[in-house]
Amino acid sequence: MTEKLLNYLGGQWQSGADDGAVLSDPVTGQSLVRVASSGMDLKAGFAFARESAGPALRAMSYAQRAALLTTAVKILQSNRDRYYEIATANSGTVKNDSAVDIDGGIYTLSTYAKIGEKLGEQKFLLDGEAARLGKEPLFQSQHVLVPRHGVALFINAFNFPSWGLWEKAAPALLSGVPVIVKPATSTAWLTHQMVKDVVDAKIFPPGALSIVCGGSAGLLDALAPFDVISFTGSADTAEKIRTHPAVAKHSVRVNIEADSVNSALLMPDAVPGSEAFDLLIKEAAREMTQKSGQKCTAIRRIFVPRAHYNAAAEALGARLAKTTVGNPRNETVRMGALVNREQFTTVTNGIAQLQAHITTLFDGRKTALVDADPSVACCVGPVLLGTENPESVSIVHEVEVFGPVATLMAYETPERATALIRRGEGSLVCSVYGADNTTLAAAAIDLASSHGRIHVISPEVGVQHTGHGNVMPQSLHGGPGRAGGGEELGGLRALHFYHQRSAIQASSNILEKLTA
């Protein structure tokens, strides 16, 4: 029988009581490891994190906790080769796609270590300047941000087992809040190995970083006042979390990142053959194929002027045709597999659902897989769909196929394009391509109200931009409406979720002690 991974909770490694779920290689079907979480005393584990790890973390300054993050970065970097092996086996990703997850997670952790180092030896943050409460300046109000006295529960998605952990854990640990992570079962191995390496190195106080692999039953019941929960996944699960009795009763602070039908917009000045046009084609193809399209930030809708529709369809199809799909262990393969058979079925059905209403412009599923058995491997070639009448086809703005799939759409005017983009009802990111700085700036502001991030690409940043779907720790990650209404990262802003804002009303002499 395959190895069963242990859970780390309450400052000790524990085994789930049942045989658990088997994690498999999505290309070969080989069984890898098992995960199980039943039978553990979750409430006791949460209490240990609150009562032991929490005070130990809060006793340190931001700079001291930042030093712990730096040490964790070194441990993770020293084990990168092992993480890449696990990602290939458990997620079916090619090396470049594994890097987005693994190196992206480590980079985010190191970024917050640097942020904490700059905060120095203070143990709380000032929020704005003091404001006088009367005619005389003696009695004033000063807002402060202090670390919350609870735990941070993370329930993560399957597509980023490394980055999904560290983009949440980095600001939480820097804030002095202990972390309990529940990774998605299907790809939990990488998250588990990273947590194990850091725990075994004894960097953080016992219980500061915990992991529960397997089922999620009972996790929300263990939440208490002052705890926070951050979830990445479906809107249906997000609704269950928001309405859970423990969350409602204790006013648990919740951050949600849900599904999102993200867009790319080509401005009218970006004619076929122009640099801006080519940048759109390159980025759209990359977003469709990177991690087999299994990214919450991936481009799902591509809006181009009607006059450029056929040229865009031809150029994008030609670029996608160069994508070799199959076993990520083969050096000629550029796109690996979906994470499991369930996702393969879901994506295949989603494509069929869209094809019933719009045109298929390119279907990479007709090309043979490389070093992979199509009856076993969860591989899907890139599929480009299209419609010249997106205003009359509601489904393209409502259904997200979480794989290497996107829909090309024609628009008449920039104003109509913006209106169509907003039919996504809130997204994580929209990228805009063009060469006229004035119209690009106006489009960015116009689209900002319905997106967490606007990625503006003009020829001058064609080489330097970080990518439509790459979430950088310096910028906000999240979005309104359908995208969940949450906010993560954004530099120092990420720490606010793990702090309590309070107004201290006192004499200016006392408030000076705070600023000192």
pLDDT tens digits for range 263-276: 999 999 999 999 99
Residue 516 has pLDDT above 80, yes or no: no
Residue 135 has pLDDT above 90, yes or no: no
Residue 514 has pLDDT above 90, yes or no: no
244 and 300 assigned to the same domain: no
- Residue 259 confidence (pLDDT): 86
Rg (CA), the chain: 24
338 and 253 assigned to the same domain: no
Handedness of CA 426, 431, 436, 441 (dihedral sign): positive
290 and 201 assigned to the same domain: no
- Residue 323 confidence (pLDDT): 98
232 and 336 assigned to the same domain: no
38 found inside a domain: no
217 and 347 assigned to the same domain: no
- Residue 120 confidence (pLDDT): 96
Compute the residue count for the chain.
Answer: 516
18 found inside a domain: no
Q: CA separation (Å) from 145 to 62, 124, 128, 234, 245? A: 13, 6, 10, 31, 28
d(CA 464, CA 475): 16
Question: Is 239 in the active site?
Answer: no
358 found inside a domain: yes
Residue among 257, 400, 487, 488 flagged as catalytic: 257
d(CA 32, CA 222): 30
Q: Which residues contact 233 (CB under 8 A, 6 or more apart)?
A: 155, 156, 157, 184, 257, 258
223 and 365 assigned to the same domain: no
CA-closest candidate to residue 294, choices 97, 460, 441, 155: 97
| Segment holding 227, helix H or strand E | none
d(CA 478, CA 155): 16
4 found inside a domain: no
253 and 267 assigned to the same domain: no
Residues 492 and 123 sit within 8 Å (Cβ to Cβ): no
pLDDT tens string 327-352: 999 999 999 999 999 999 999 999 99
Q: How far apart, in Å, do the first and last CA atoms of the chain sit? A: 60
CATH number of the domain enclosing 152 = 3.40.605.10
35 found inside a domain: no
Q: Which residues contact 6 (CB under 8 A, 6 or more apart)?
A: 13, 14, 15
Strands 21-24 and 31-35: antiparallel
245 and 281 assigned to the same domain: no
39 found inside a domain: no
Exposed, middle or buried by CB within 10 Å (0-12, 13-18, 19+), for 136?
Answer: exposed
Question: Is 296 in the active site?
Answer: yes
d(CA 283, CA 270): 14
Residue 1 has pLDDT above 80, yes or no: no
Residues 158 and 191 sit within 8 Å (Cβ to Cβ): no
Q: How confident is the model at residue 113 (pLDDT cuts 50, 70, 90)?
A: very high
Residue among 167, 213, 296, 400 flagged as catalytic: 296
Counted domains in the chain:
2
Q: Which residues contact 457 (CB under 8 A, 6 or more apart)?
A: 276, 279, 280, 283, 431, 432, 433, 465, 468
CA-closest candidate to residue 383, choices 278, 454, 298, 288: 288
CA-closest candidate to residue 306, choices 227, 234, 414, 403: 414
99 and 157 assigned to the same domain: yes
pLDDT mean across residues, the chain? 97
d(CA 85, CA 12): 26
CA-closest candidate to residue 252, choices 150, 140, 353: 150
DSSP secondary structure code for residue 220 in this structure: G
Average pLDDT over residues 313-329: 98
pTM of full prediction above 0.85 = yes
Token match 């500061």: residue? 208
Amino acid at 395: I
281 and 239 assigned to the same domain: no
pLDDT tens string 403-445: 999 999 999 999 999 999 999 999 999 999 999 999 999 999 9
288 and 422 assigned to the same domain: yes
Q: Which domain holds residue 504?
A: 44-258+488-515
22 found inside a domain: no
- Residue 307 confidence (pLDDT): 98
CATH number of the domain enclosing 445 = 3.40.309.10
56 and 196 assigned to the same domain: yes
Amino acid at 208: A
464 found inside a domain: yes
d(CA 263, CA 4): 41
